[in-house]
Every structure is written in structure tokens, then in C-alpha cells.
């Protein structure tokens, strides 16, 4: 009598070259490659990697910066968007989009980083924008801000509203010298 149980052999199917190509590396894979030994230096430990990432988080309190455990969790659990991904990208010399897309390569040219001490903040941008406005009277400021509002509704580099605001604030608007200004006396 034959048993109704059949022995099924398990086989491992390999992905075709096309499928292997289409499978993008995870964030963890990319970080592991970055941490690996190369160019005559030893591989980075999670602690060393965390210190490298934390250097790009100088705006955060120390307790909120990336730590060894964050890197270990990333490597083990494969998070795709950790809270420190921007600092991680900066530490690896790339940008967030490259990491998210799985296109990071340790051999790729490094992204030029802006000196953080010279980074424009919202506050400095606001001051840069509002200081030139202060010389105009209330009605003129209202016209300039109306142009800003129109630009914000439909932002584009060739917007006439954008050009008007830039020209007015820089004093290059035709007739800008005749615009009513606040008197200094």
C-alpha cells in the first residue's frame, strides 16, 4: 500500500539577472558597504559610524544625535527612513534621494557639502527679505507683498511677480527711486 504522503524536494530558485538587477540595495546594504574596509583603512564600527553621522547633527542636543544603537538597529532591522537619514547621507558624502533610491556607491564622486556655519536659516532669510521693505511706506509694502502672494500661488522662475519683488527690493525696479519711502526725519 502506498502512502498518500509525497516527498517533495525543495529547490532554491535563483533570481534571473534581470530580477537581481532590479532589486535595489537596502539602506542597510549601502551603509554596510560604506562602513567596510577600503582605501587602506579598517572597517568602521557602529560606534565610529554613529560619531561620523552625529558630526552632521550639530544643531541637535547631544542626546538626540545618532548613536551606536541607532546604527546597529539600522544594520539589523533595515530601516528605510530613519530620523537621521539626512545626517547619514551627509556623512556618506551623498544625498538622501540617492540613499532612498538604492543608488549609493562608495566609488561615486562625493556630493559637495555646504559649510553649516554659512547655511541660510529661515530667520536670516526673513531678515534679508524684510529689511529692504522697511524703507518703503505702508502702501508700497502692501503692493510688494501682494506680488509676493501672487508669486506664492503660482511659483515659477519666470514669474513676473517674482521679478517685480526682486527688482523692487533691490532698488532696480524701473521708477523704484520714485516709490514712496519712509522719511528719516
Q: What is the pTM of this model?
A: 0.49
- Give Cβ neighbours of residue 136 (< 8 Å, ≥ 6 apart): 144, 179, 180, 181, 182
Count other Cβ atoms within 10 Å, centred on residue 45.
Answer: 13
CATH number at residue 87: 1.10.260
The answer to whether 26 and 80 are in contact (CB under 8 A) is: yes
Say yes or no: 64 and 127 in one domain. no
In which domain, by residue range, is 88 found?
Answer: 18-111
Contact between 169 and 132 under an 8 Å Cβ cutoff? The reply is: yes
64 assigned to some structural domain: yes
What would the grid cell of residue 157 be?
Answer: 522662475
- Pick 99 or 37 by higher pLDDT: 99
pLDDT of residue 182: 57
What pLDDT was estimated at residue 2?
Answer: 55
C-beta separation of 133 from 126 below 8 A = no
Is residue 5 assigned to a domain?
no
Residue with cell 527688482: 167
Which of 38-42, 66-70, 77-81, 177-181 shows the lowest mean pLDDT across its residues?
A: 177-181
131 and 159 in a common domain: yes
For residues 15 and 169, which has the higher predicted lDDT (pLDDT)? 169
- State phi, psi for 136 to the nearest 5 degrees: -90, 155
143 plus 173 within the same structural domain? yes
Q: What is the DSSP string of 107-127?
A: TSPPPPPPPGGGPPPHHHHHH
Q: Is 39:110 a contact under the CB 8 Å cutoff?
A: no
Residues facing 136 on adjacent strands: 181
Residue 68's pLDDT is 94
Q: Does 40 share its domain with 86?
A: yes
Given pLDDT bands bounded at 50, 70 and 90, which one contains residue 95? confident
> What is the arithmetic mean of pLDDT over 90-96?
88
Average pLDDT over residues 56-80: 89
Q: What is the pLDDT of residue 185?
A: 46
**Residue 178 backbone dihedrals phi, psi, to 5 degrees:** -95, 0
Look at residue 7 and tell me if it is in a domain: no
The conformation of residue 181, written as its DSSP 8-state character, comes to B
Are 102 and 139 members of one domain?
Answer: no
Residues 35, 100: one domain?
Answer: yes
Backbone angles phi, psi at 2, to 5 degrees: -95, 145
Residue 66 has pLDDT above 50, yes or no: yes
pLDDT at 61 over 80: yes
Query: What does the alpha-carbon distance between residue 119 and residue 88 come to, in Å, rounded to a whole number?
Result: 18
CA distance 144 to 174: 14
Model confidence over 2-54: pLDDT tens digits? 555 555 555 555 555 555 455 788 899 999 999 987 777 789 999 999 999 99
- What average pLDDT does the structure give for the chain? 76
Quick: pLDDT tens for 107-133.
Answer: 776 655 545 555 556 677 777 777 777
Amino acid at each position: 500500500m502506498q502512502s498518500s504522503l509525497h516527498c517533495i524536494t525543495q529547490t532554491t530558485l535563483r533570481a534571473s539577472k534581470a530580477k537581481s538587477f532590479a532589486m535595489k540595495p537596502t539602506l542597510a546594504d549601502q551603509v554596510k558597504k560604506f562602513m567596510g574596509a577600503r582605501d587602506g583603512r579598517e572597517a568602521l564600527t557602529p560606534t565610529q559610524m554613529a560619531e561620523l553621522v552625529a558630526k552632521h547633527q550639530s544643531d541637535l542636543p547631544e542626546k538626540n544625535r545618532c548613536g551606536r544603537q541607532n546604527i546597529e538597529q539600522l544594520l539589523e532591522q533595515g530601516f528605510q527612513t530613519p530620523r537621521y537619514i539626512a545626517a547619514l547621507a551627509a556623512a556618506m558624502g551623498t544625498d538622501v534621494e540617492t540613499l532612498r533610491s538604492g543608488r549609493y556607491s562608495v566609488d561615486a564622486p562625493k556630493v559637495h557639502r555646504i559649510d553649516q556655519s554659512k547655511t541660510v536659516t529661515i530667520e536670516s532669510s526673513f531678515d534679508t527679505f524684510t529689511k529692504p521693505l522697511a524703507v518703503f511706506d505702508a502702501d508700497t509694502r502692501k503692493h510688494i507683498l501682494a506680488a509676493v502672494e501672487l508669486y506664492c500661488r503660482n511659483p515659477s522662475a519666470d514669474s513676473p511677480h517674482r521679478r517685480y519683488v526682486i527688482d523692487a527690493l533691490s532698488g532696480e525696479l524701473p521708477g523704484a527711486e520714485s516709490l514712496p519711502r519712509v522719511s528719516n526725519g
